[in-house]
Chain A
Amino acid sequence: MKLSIVDYKSGNISSVINSFKEVAQDKVNIEVTSDIKKISLSDKVVLPGQGSFKSCVDALNNINGLVDTLNEFVDVKKKPLLGICVGLQMFADVGYEETETKGLGWISGKVSKIDNQRGKYKLPHIGWNQINIVKDSKIFKSIENNSHMYFVHSYEFIPTDNKVISATTDYSTKIVCSVEKENIFGTQFHPEKSDKTGLKLVDNFINL
């Protein structure tokens, strides 16, 4: 099995790499790459993302053919892809961080700033929060409801269709923190930084 972590020069992905290597050991061939041929030949893809929605989308677009390759991977080949943090947010049609920016459009919806109730809640939403699992997702296998995951973000994904939501978390509002649509998976929290529970999720994705 070949798994590619997309390295599109946006933010720090060392922790994502370390967590997948820790879980996979020698069983899975993990490639950290921006090479579209390698990505295209993978069985699974992880799309991390740090920084702003706009900077991540721009960075994806900067690599020739990358967006087309990813589109083909999820839409035509229907192979599993996991987006993490802004990696998940980019599934949306549009994002409003910095300026209005078109997303990948894989899951209909928008990304906007968390309503912090006029400063009543601090932003970014940083730290450990509990997830409410609302859908029996394969990536939550053996992960209990109300488990703690590590979050750090100021923007949230608001999907048009509630059926794609697999988990939410309670902050100033109910925030969508995990989505699943067929072969497309995404978490707003960072499994790579969420201790044993997070590594379990990584393991579940590897074993899909």
Chain B
Amino acid sequence: MLKNRIIPCLDVKNGRVVKGINFVNLQDAGDPVEQAKIYSDGGADEICFLDITASNENRDTIYHVVKETSKKCFVPLTVGGGVRTVEDINKLLNCGADKVSINTSAVQDKNVVLESSKKFGSQCIVVAIDAKKNGDKWDVYTHGGRNNSGLDALEFAKKMEDSGAGELLVTSMDRDGTQIGYDIDLMKKISSMVNIPLIASGGVGNLDHLAEGIKEGNASAVLAASIFHYGKHSVIEAKEYLNSKGIPVRI
């Protein structure tokens, strides 16, 4: 039976982790490679890096991080943030990323998803949708949540599936950072519309939220950052909890 995945996400800036595990025994709390290794040894089903490097001159730092991580972690590695072109995707894959997540450029240039999924295969193309509720619909935001594209999130999700995306990483901007749980309504609506797996993101504050994302939101995988980073819960604790709720996980 296929298991639901738990994916810890690390924010990386200029090659350093900015929101990461707060363990006292870490030699270098800012080292993304070391943190990713802790997660993969601790049972994470995949690792996600979100590169939030703002300046262009430091953009290359992420390539080095991916290269080193892929030599030490033997679970899938997804990298997102600042991915603009098919060539950016190519570079990340060559450094050892298994999947690349595309956000702003998927909205701006419909060919990026189309071309890259043809060239590298759908299995490595994740479209990251940042959605914010506006009345009774959700708008797609770009540029790290700063710009409203005006696109309807549900229609956009369907379009991305048709363009060749292998997975959708859906983040509720209303819930991100609140720790009050995923936007279940949004997850459920998108998941029932598309036939590709959905990764739920934004708002996890406790283990019940992970269970809700899978059971009620119909997510194939759940992504979380802070509940793992600050030692509140370990990945294995999360898995044991989900298992006790009858959700299939890899233990």
Contact = CB atoms under 8 A, between A and B. Distances in A.
A190 to B, nearest CB: 8
B76 interface: yes
Contacts of A148: 3, 250
B179 interface: no
A172 B175 CA distance: 33
A126 B220 contact: yes
B33 interface: no
Chain A interface: which size bin? 35 or more
Which DSSP category, helix, strand, loop or mixed, fits chain A's interface? mixed
Contacts of B95: 14
Given A12-B120, A129-B2, A124 B166 contact: yes
Contact of B74 (A153, A154, A192): A192
B122 A195 contact: no
Interface residues of B, number: 32
A128 B3 contact: yes
B70 interface: yes
B74 A199 contact: yes
B121 A52 contact: yes
B190 to A, nearest CB: 12
Interface string B96-135: 1110000000000000000000011111100000000000
24 contacts: A11-B121, A12-B124, A14-B93, A15-B70, A18-B70, A18-B74, A22-B71, A51-B120, A55-B121, A122-B197, A124-B122, A124-B196, A126-B166, A126-B197, A127-B4, A127-B5, A127-B221, A128-B45, A150-B76, A152-B76, A153-B123, A170-B1, A171-B2, A198-B74
Interface of A: 11-12, 14-15, 18-19, 21-22, 50-52, 55, 116, 119, 122-130, 148, 150-154, 170-171, 192-196, 198-199
